[in-house]
Amino acid sequence: MWVERFPLTSYTCSILYFYLKSVSGESTTLKYLDPAFVGQLSNMELRARLIVEGFITGLHKSPYHGFSVEFAEHRPYNPGDELRHVDWKVYGKTDRHYVKQYEEETNLRHYVVLDTSPSMSYKHSSGLSKLEYGAYLAAALHFMMVKQRDATGLIAFDDHIHTLLPPKSTQGYLRQILAKLEKLAVPNQSKNKTSAASVLNEVAERIARRSLVVIITDLFENIGEHDALLNALRHLRYKGHEVLVFHILESDTERKFLFPDVPMRFVDMETGEEMSLQPAQLRENYAEAVRSFSARFREKCRERNIDFIELDTAEPYGTALLAYLNKRGKLT
């Protein structure tokens, strides 16, 4: 039996990749209604607004004030607009009047770095997958940043960066980001594995200006790559970026291994490898391995002045948003 051929210390963290296929075929119940309700909405902008305004409106005020302006986008000319803002070059090409819009350049640049690897598609009893939960959290963060006129951008990855939207602070750009998140929240059918360490090293090199980098991930990296992942986070700090890590798991199953005590088959969502076992056989050892991993990661992040926030998909987004606000020091 596969369980007997691998010592617990070598595979207990790796089993976090696996999702449940129960022989009993029992259905699960929805524990947390608010994310499920939000998830039923078709408009990502409305989701983001509900998440933010329903929880933190009035709490968050930006201390950053623009010190210069930069071009953001064009919009059609409206009667009353100042002629000095008309882009005559565009008029010459299109025979239509467009006005240049500008955004205040702030002291803050903000990136959400979202893990979209196959393991993020896992869900058990929470109603939302880790990817959906992360996407809604990202949407709320983007909405909040644009609401306070700070520039926000999106990076998404699995084994490579496949989405890169640089920071801007306009409403039109926010809609573009939210539309992208809408697509990214669809369960990942790719066979790409997680390569967070190499991706974060690339992010550190590609972001030229010091920024606030918020990483949303389940940290399911090959066990041998955990040190490389910590070094990549240190690389971000070395480049002067402020870093937050939101570690998303489905706590009951991925932290505590609280599956029914019946024969089950677990399938690795990134490799397709399978394992059959009785959960009770390794629940205690598994939970201890997860606790040890989290404690070590938390301590290493603390040493590097990186906030490490553990999230459960069964709990409100507010947990993460409050952590974010406290980090920014803007909660009044």
Percent of the chain with pLDDT over 70: 71
Give me the chain's average pLDDT, please.
75
Q: What are phi and psi of 78, to 5 degrees?
A: -120, 145
Question: Beta 274-277 vs 18-22: how paired, if at all?
Answer: unpaired
DSSP 3-state assignment of 93? helix
Six-digit token string for 27: 């259905």
Least confident of 88-97, 159-168, 183-192: 183-192
User: How is domain 2-66+106-328 classified at the CATH fold level?
Assistant: Rossmann fold (3.40.50)
Angle between helices 44-53 and 130-147 (to 10 degrees): 70
Q: Give the Cα separation of 210 and 308 in Å (integer).
A: 20
Contact 311, 29 (CB under 8 A): no
pLDDT tens, position by position, 189-231: 666 677 889 999 999 999 988 888 999 999 887 666 788 999 9
Using a cut of 0.85, tell me whether the model's pTM lies above it: no
In terms of Cα–Cα distance, which of 312, 196, 276 is closest to 18? Answer: 276
- pLDDT for 91 beyond 80: yes
**DSSP structure string for 32-76:** -HHHHHHHH-S-HHHHHHHHHHTTTTTTB------SEEEEEEEEE
Residue 22: predicted pLDDT: 29
Domain residue ranges in the chain: 2-66+106-328, 69-102
Residue 20: predicted pLDDT: 29
pLDDT tens, position by position, 99-146: 876 654 445 789 999 999 988 988 887 678 999 999 988 988 888 888
Residue 27: predicted pLDDT: 31
DSSP 3-state assignment of 147? helix
User: Which residues lie across from 152 on neighbouring strands?
Assistant: 110, 168
Say how many CA atoms lie within 13 Å of 294 toward its Cβ.
Answer: 20
Contact 69, 104 (CB under 8 A): yes
- pLDDT for 25 beyond 60: no
Least confident of 2-16, 48-62, 68-82, 164-178: 2-16
Q: What are phi and psi of 119, to 5 degrees?
A: -65, -25
DSSP state of 12: T
What is the pLDDT averaged over residues 154-159?
93
Which of the listed ranges 74-78, 92-96, 214-218 does the model predict with the highest average pLDDT?
214-218
Residue 106 vs residue 255, higher pLDDT:
255
Residues 30-58 as b/e (b if ≥16 CB within 10 A, e otherwise) read ebbebbeebbeeeebbebbbbbbeebbee
Percent of the chain with pLDDT over 90: 26
pLDDT tens, position by position, 267-294: 877 777 888 888 888 899 989 988 998 9
Residue 327: predicted pLDDT: 67
Residue 30: predicted pLDDT: 26
Q: Give the Cα separation of 4 and 23 in Å (integer).
A: 21
DSSP 3-state assignment of 273? coil
Q: What are phi and psi of 115, to 5 degrees?
A: -80, 120
What is the pLDDT averaged over residues 29-46?
46
